[in-house]
């Protein structure tokens, strides 16, 4: 990772980069940094993406041989192709002497280090493995984010938070986002804040409430809402979590419409593994324009909260009832 950072800093970029491993969050961060550095301010017309198993290698090679459009470099990105497991021999042979005007970013979950493609990339470019990070590294990372948000946290509370999230950086970032929303009016994040927003009961109720809304069951959705109020979760914070769920459904629906498989949807949206199917089913019950309208209504409800035009509990009830009653209008 340090090597890639140094390459970007000095501008001495390799022609081929392979990013692989378990830590998908870091891989995406470095992938995007490399794309930006390799394009060097040029048009994204010179960025060609190929994703998923079954990528046509001859088509990739043909594109690599095509001169970039008003630029010195074309960037070819191959992601989750599984070519490092099988079928990568043709690409391996090409990468031994690729067109000088093309650079490659290869992103994979797993690679077979015995494959000819891996050996070629290792020899002619740079291969970086992104594994799970040590706890001390994660603590520094979380504290850095909190410092930017002008929030403080004790070492005990930080440990409590990480004990609940595990070492997956994507999950940590997602839970931290919810925690920051929950503590938006506070300077110091306390242990009780972590317990309230990161405990399964609250998350589970929010998820089930949106599920009931998707099913058109307003009565059940309201019951989950009242359960959240009984847990002393403020209506404003419930609204923030509802908004997040609608936003996730919209992203999932748009990616599913493009034909992305569930695993890639989970990765792109930042969902835990194997939970994407539930979001896909929920999102399928709404038309895309209804999900966009729901986000607009959430923003309007937040404005109504803050302006005092309507009580926060009542305005949320109306929002829940409205979208629970749209069952017959779904695609």
* Residue 259: strand, helix, or coil: coil
Mean pLDDT of 166-190: 89
Quote the percentage of the chain above a pLDDT of 90.
56
CATH 3.40.50.2300 fits 203-329, yes or no: no
Topology (CATH) of 135-198: Helicase, Ruva Protein; domain 3 (1.10.8)
- The pTM (predicted TM-score) of the whole model is 0.62
Question: Average pLDDT in the 275-287 region?
Answer: 86
pLDDT at 328 over 50: no
Distance CA(103)–CA(93), nearest Å, equals 15
Segment 208-232 shows an average pLDDT of 86
Q: Is 216 helix (H, G, I), strand (E, B) or coil?
A: coil
The structural domains of the chain, with segments of one domain joined by +, span 2-129, 135-198, 203-329
Residue-wise DSSP of 15-47:
SEEEEESS-HHHHHHHHHHHHHHHHTT--GGGE
Question: Which of 321, 274, 278, 330 minimizes the C-alpha distance to 301?
Answer: 321
pLDDT tens column, 35-86? 999 998 878 899 999 998 889 999 999 999 999 988 889 999 999 999 999 9
pLDDT at 329 over 60: no
- Could you tell me the pLDDT band of residue 170, with boundaries at 50, 70 and 90? confident
**Nearest in space to 8 (alpha carbons), one of 35, 26, 28:** 35
Rounded to the nearest integer, the mean pLDDT of the chain is 89
Instruction: Write the class of the CATH domain 2-129.
Output: alpha beta
Q: What is the pLDDT of residues 93-141, one digit of tens each?
A: 999 999 999 999 999 999 999 999 999 999 999 999 998 899 899 999 9
Residue 91 confidence class, pLDDT cut points 50, 70, 90: very high
Has residue 231 got a pLDDT over 80? no
Which pLDDT band, with edges at 50, 70 and 90, does 299 fall under?
very high
Strand partners of residue 48:
76
In this prediction, residue 29 carries a pLDDT of: 95
> Over pLDDT 70: what percentage of the chain?
95
Q: Is the pLDDT of residue 163 over 80?
A: no
């Amino acid at each position: 990772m340090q090597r890639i950072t140094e390459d970007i800093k000095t501008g001495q970029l390799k022609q081929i980069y392979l990013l692989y491993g378990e830590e998908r969050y870091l891989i995406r961060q470095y992938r995007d940094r490399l794309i930006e550095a390799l394009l060097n301010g040029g048009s994204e017309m010179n960025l060609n993406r190929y994703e998923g198993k079954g990528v046509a290698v001859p088509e990739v090679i043909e594109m690599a041989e095509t001169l970039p459009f008003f630029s010195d470099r074309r960037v070819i990105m191959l992601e989750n192709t599984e070519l490092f497991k099988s079928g990568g021999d043709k690409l391996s042979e090409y990468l031994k002497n690729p067109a000088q005007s093309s650079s490659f970013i290869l992103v994979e979950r797993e690679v077979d280090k015995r494959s000819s493609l891996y050996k070629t990339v290792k020899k002619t470019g740079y291969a970086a493995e992104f594994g799970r990070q040590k706890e001390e590294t994660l603590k520094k990372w979380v504290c850095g984010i909190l410092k930017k948000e002008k929030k403080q946290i004790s070492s005990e509370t930080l440990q409590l938070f990480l004990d609940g999230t595990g070492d997956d950086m994507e999950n940590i970032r997602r839970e931290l986002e919810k925690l920051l929303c929950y503590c938006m009016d506070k300077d110091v994040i306390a242990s009780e804040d972590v317990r309230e927003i990161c405990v399964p009961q609250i998350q589970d109720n929010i998820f089930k409430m949106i599920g009931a809304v998707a099913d058109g069951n307003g009565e059940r959705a309201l019951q989950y809402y009242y359960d959240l109020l009984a847990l002393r979760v403020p209506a404003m914070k419930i609204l923030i979590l509802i908004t997040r769920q609608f936003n996730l459904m919209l992203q999932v629906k748009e990616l599913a419409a493009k034909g992305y498989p569930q695993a890639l949807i989970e990765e792109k949206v930042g969902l835990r593994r194997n939970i994407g199917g539930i979001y896909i089913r929920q999102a399928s019950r709404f038309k895309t324009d209804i999900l966009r309208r729901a986000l607009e209504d959430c923003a309007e409800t937040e404005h109504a909260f803050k302006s005092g035009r309507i009580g926060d509990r009542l305005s949320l009830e109306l929002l829940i009832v409205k979208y629970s009653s749209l069952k017959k209008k779904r695609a």
